[in-house]
Amino acid sequence: MTPQPLAGSGTTYSDTFLVDGTRTGFAELSGTLRNVSATDLGIAAAKGLFARGKVQARSVDMVIGSSLAHTDFDAYYLPRHIGLYAGIAQEVPAIFVHRLCGSGFDLLAQAADYIKLGKARSALCVGAESMSRNPVASFTSRSGFRMGQVDFKDFLWEALSDTAPGIGMGNTAENLAIKYDISRADADAFALRSFTLAAKAREAGYFEDEILKLTPSRFELEGYQTRSLRLPRGVEQFSEDEHARPVDAQALAKLRPVFGGVQTAGNSSGIVDGAAAAVVADGDMVDQLGADPLARIVAATAVGVAPEIMGIGPAPAIRKLLEITGLSLGDIDRFEINEAFSAQVIAVERELGLDPDKVNVNGGATALGHPLSATGLRCTITCGRELRRRGLRWGIASACCGGGQGSAVLIENPDA
């Protein structure tokens, strides 16, 4: 009897490449990038990518952008404005993508889909997130308020809860901690590893080629309004991950649980502002550019899981990748799994039986931060660079998504 295919969507690609990718440094909530809109972060990331020289703006024929919360009054136009102000031809169209924390992976997957369908030869993918500029909002003010019923709420805080199961994102990690017998000590040890590895990678200069330098800038577009990126007074450039810092086991152990279990502010992902950009292209375009691509995009998947254990999403997403490609877990040399919560990644490791020494070897979102729509790009770029650096072949980048989903992308080192 033929086994039934695993649930979820999955697609393989034969001639699609991640040509190059870069990102901004990730700034703490209300930190250095607190006054920069997601659109301007995205423009800066795209212009920084083109400045690296592997690919030119005029060679792009599709723009795909993502940003979860609207952080300026022109947020509807985010992908279009990123393309225009980054120097891409006016005739090139743009589209918005939204799969919560998996959006960055969907940027790559949709770019690869467009290429596979013959609708594009290349695409600019940009994920940009300003957590600091999430608004205080009212959805009922247009019709007025009754006395004492003014209804303004912190959009960021409210968005961290899923109203279907009626629990916060952190509580879904606590559910996994119970299911997979994950202790507070386990979660803190995972966090300590993330901070330690990120510190070692930064000290070794590993992130220098990944992170672009942001400077106060004006984005000119002939015949149109000028945009700008402003940094706080006295800050001339920004190129670091502000959430990454020295920590020790004792400091982590002193932190109080946030959701009544094992998760604390120290062993959960950092809330940060930042953006990432990448160009995906077919083999003919890569040859035309004379580029040495960072990675080949082999396959992408998306799956659904129960919302109350949304953090397990990477496990079935990765299984689906292996099913459609015929590879085994043992074939995969590196995993970049977004660290939404320490207990959540531990649960994925235990569910799949992953070798922890292959997972997030340069630290993850616990240390670096999780700028929602930019995270999938960051994970995939980091994974590709790690494969190239180590001379390894196969890598998987993956994340859970609020609401109960998982996304994953399989990449291959072209030189392995």
β-strands 295-304, 405-412 pairing: antiparallel
Tell me whether residue 229 is in a domain: yes
In a domain, 75, yes or no: yes
Q: Which residues contact 283 (CB under 8 A, 6 or more apart)?
A: 15, 16, 17
Instruction: Provide Rg for the chain, Cα atoms.
Output: 20
Could you tell me which of 155, 174, 409 has the C-alpha nearest to residue 297?
Answer: 409
What residue type is assigned to position 398 of the chain?
A: S
* Residue 391 covered by a domain: no
Contacts for 260 with CB less than 8 Å, ≥ 6 apart: 171, 174
Tell me how many domains the chain contains.
1
DSSP state of 331: G
At 141 the pLDDT is 85
Q: Report the relative pairing of strands 394-401 and 334-337 from DSSP bridges.
A: parallel
Query: Coil, strand, or helix at residue 400?
Result: strand
Residue 1 pLDDT: 60
- Considering the domain boundaries, does residue 258 fall inside one? no
**CATH number assigned to the domain comprising residue 106:** 3.40.47.10
How far is residue 183's CA from residue 157's CA, in Å, rounded to a whole number? Answer: 26
Summarize pLDDT for 37-86 with one digit per residue, the tens.
999 999 999 999 999 999 999 999 999 999 998 999 999 999 999 999 99
Give this prediction's pTM: 0.96
Active site residue 101: yes
The boundaries of the domain holding residue 107 are 16-133+208-239+268-289
Instruction: Based on DSSP, count helices (H) and strands (E) in the chain, helices before strands.
Output: 12, 17
Residue in 90, 95, 92 with CA at minimum distance from that of residue 79:
95
CA 124 to chain centroid, in Å, comes to 15
Cβ burial 98-126 (10 Å sphere, 16+ → b, else e): ebbbbbbbbbbbbbbbbbbeeebbbbbbb
| Residue 175 within a domain | no
Please report where in the chains the tokens 């440094």 appear, as a residue.
Answer: 25
CB 121 within 8 A of CB 281: yes
Evaluated on CA atoms 354, 355, 356, 358, the torsion sign reads negative
Asked, for residue 197, whether it belongs to a domain, the answer is: no
Q: State the pLDDT at residue 149.
A: 81
Q: Which of 101, 125, 379, 401 is catalytic?
A: 101
What's the pLDDT score for residue 89?
97
Q: Which among 125, 379, 383, 400 is annotated as catalytic? A: 400
Comparing CA positions, the residue from 244, 241, 209 lying closest to residue 385 is 209
Please give the chain's pLDDT, 416 residues, in tens. 667 788 889 999 999 999 999 999 999 999 999 999 999 999 999 999 999 999 999 999 999 999 998 999 999 999 999 999 999 999 999 999 999 999 999 999 999 999 999 999 999 999 999 999 999 998 888 888 888 788 889 999 999 999 999 999 999 999 999 999 999 999 999 999 999 999 999 999 999 999 999 999 999 999 999 999 999 999 999 999 999 999 999 999 999 999 999 999 999 999 999 999 999 999 999 999 999 999 999 999 999 999 999 999 999 999 999 999 999 999 999 999 999 999 999 999 999 999 999 999 999 999 999 999 999 999 999 999 999 999 999 999 999 999 999 999 999 999 98
Q: What is residue 73's predicted lDDT score, i.e. its pLDDT?
A: 94
- Tell me the C-alpha distance between 98 and 66, whole Å: 6
Annotation marks residue 400 as catalytic: yes
In a domain, 107, yes or no: yes
- As given in the structure block, the two tokens for residue 416 are 């392995």
C-alpha span between 407 and 233 (Å, rounded): 39
